[in-house]
Amino acid sequence: MNSPGMQNIIAQCVTQYCQTYRLKPEQAKVIGYIQQCRTPALGGLQWQCGECDYQRPFYHSCRNRHCPQCQKKASDQWCERQRQCVLPIPYFHLVFTLPHELNGWVELHPKTIYALLFQAVWATLSTFGADPKRLGGQMGLSAVLHTWGQNLFRHVHLHCLVPGGALSETGQWIDTNNVSYLFPDKALARYFRGRLVTLLRQAYQQGKLHRITRPNEVKLGLDALMRKDWIVYTKSYIEQADTVVNYLGRYTHRIAISDQRIVRIENGQVTFRYKDYKDDNRNKVMVLEATEFLRRFLLHVLPAGFMRIRHYGFLANRCRKNKLALIRQSINEQRESEPAIEPRIEGTKAPQPISDIGFRCPRCKTGVLKPGRPINARAWTSG
């Protein structure tokens, strides 16, 4: 039995996998990055104890967004940048799910369909928010693309974090009337369905779905999807800055599976934990052939350069700073009897640079390991 982890799974079965399946260029790059991550191939630093002669190498990480070993630091850094964007209001978590009937098209045109999914979701929420009968203003949205389910099959959906209100044209903040309710899910789902189907038809007519070649497949497929109920899920979220930021970080840099969910690798099989949402969210264990496990993992490699985290409305990068200032001013004016609430993280300190804190020496237990001489990267070739 070998220690569990995606790196070990790749080392064991990538050769066999390539005998059965063809690696796309993006997938081959991801495999190479994961194989090199925190190994001599990338070089590093030789850390040494200031009290005894103990030394330990620390190798550089690959920093690839698909690597299970690199996402914790990326998530922490992203959260640090987002803390100033949190408003002292309720938030809502919405999930827009792409019907599984479109999975075949996603395989052929992932970049196009993922982009249309973002476009359709924002069109849906912005239309509902601008409706004078609802909020009558511009909403804000942070959306994160996930392409997997707990069993690693393709399950494309957007996680959306939405502040509970809208910004009017006059710069006034309009609160949602009910902290546990934003918009009706069924109405959102129907509008989302119509919007995305329209965008897919237009994309096909413009030649953006050219790999779909069977006669009438697009027309018949989209007609069938218009007769199907689509799924939108909404949950209200509590008004605490630290919880909102932690929530954002948990979803923005999550990958298909973490090394912590992998139980063991033995006899060419991978055992991993998953949550069965169809069975009352029970925690279960699944066993897959290693090549099948790797195939499912590689389904979720994103197209090169594709942005899976996007912000819209008053949270868009180009106008976020100015519009958040307007919103905070408006909220404070509406709460004149209350002290101004600033978004912050209770009891959380900014992380210190690793070179300043060091690590306790495992040999003498008194000294601290500090970075010393660099370790040059070694030549590496794919297995």
- Residue ranges and CATH numbers for the domains of the chain are 6-65+355-375 (no CATH), 71-256+299-334 (3.40.1310)
Pair of tokens at residue 151: 């069993």
Q: Is 316 exposed, middle or buried (0-12, 13-18, 19+ CB in 10 A)?
A: middle
SS3 content of the chain, % helix, strand, coil (to 5): 40, 25, 40
252 pLDDT higher than 80: no
Helix axes 25-36, 6-20, angle to 10 degrees: 150
Q: How far apart are CA 313 and CA 320, in angstroms?
A: 8
CB-based burial of residue 279 (10 Å sphere; 0-12 exposed, 13-18 middle, 19+ buried)?
A: exposed
Residue 293's Cβ-count burial label (10 Å; 0-12, 13-18, 19+) is: buried
Q: Which pLDDT score, from 0 to 100, does residue 1 have? A: 47
In this predicted structure, the answer to whether residue 152 has a pLDDT above a threshold of 60 is yes
Looking at residue 367, its pLDDT comes to 87
Please tell me the distance from the alpha carbon of residue 327 to that of residue 82, in angstroms, as a whole number.
16
Q: Which two tokens stand for residue 228?
A: 């199907």
Angle between helices 290-298 and 6-20 (to 10 degrees): 90
Q: Which of 9, 30, 29, 13 is nearest to 21 (CA)?
A: 13
Instruction: Give me the pLDDT at residue 58, please.
Output: 87
| Whether the predicted pLDDT of 343 surpasses 80 | no
381 beta partners: none
74 pLDDT band, cuts 50/70/90, is: confident
| Cα 87 to Cα 331: distance, rounded to the nearest angstrom | 9
The answer, yes or no, to whether residue 81 has pLDDT greater than 60, is yes
**pLDDT at 354 (0 to 100):** 38
**H helices, E strands: number in the chain:** 11, 14
More confident residue, 196 or 89: 196
Distance between CA 93 and CA 250 in Å, rounded?
13
Residue 15, SS3 per DSSP: helix
Split at pLDDT 50, 70, 90, the class of 376 is confident
Determine the pLDDT at residue 6: 92
| Residue owning tokens 């099989």 | 269
Query: In sequence order, what DSSP letters do the residues of 107-161 get, joined into one string?
Result: HH-HHHHHHHHHHHHHHHHHHHHH-TTTT-SB-EEEEEEEEE-TTSSEEEEEEEE
Alpha carbons 58 and 40: distance in angstroms, whole number: 9
Confidence at residue 345, expressed as pLDDT on a 0 to 100 scale: 38
User: Which CA distances in Å does 221 have to 119, 158, 196, 200, 247?
Assistant: 20, 22, 13, 11, 36
∠55-61-65 over CA atoms, to 5°? 160
Per-residue model confidence (pLDDT) at position 175:
92
Residue 243 has pLDDT above 80, yes or no: no
Please write the tens of the pLDDT for every residue from 35-68.
999 899 999 988 888 888 898 888 888 889 898 8
3-state SS string for 292-304:
HHHHHHHCCCCCC
* pLDDT at 122 > cutoff 50: yes
- Choose among 89, 150, 162, 159: nearest CA to 125: 162
For the chain, report the end-to-end CA distance as a whole number of angstroms: 20
Between CA 19 and CA 30, with CA 24 as vertex, the angle to 5 degrees is 100
* Segment among 75-84, 272-281, 328-337 with least mean pLDDT: 75-84
The 8-class DSSP code of residue 261 comes to G
- The Cα 37–Cα 73 span in angstroms is 14
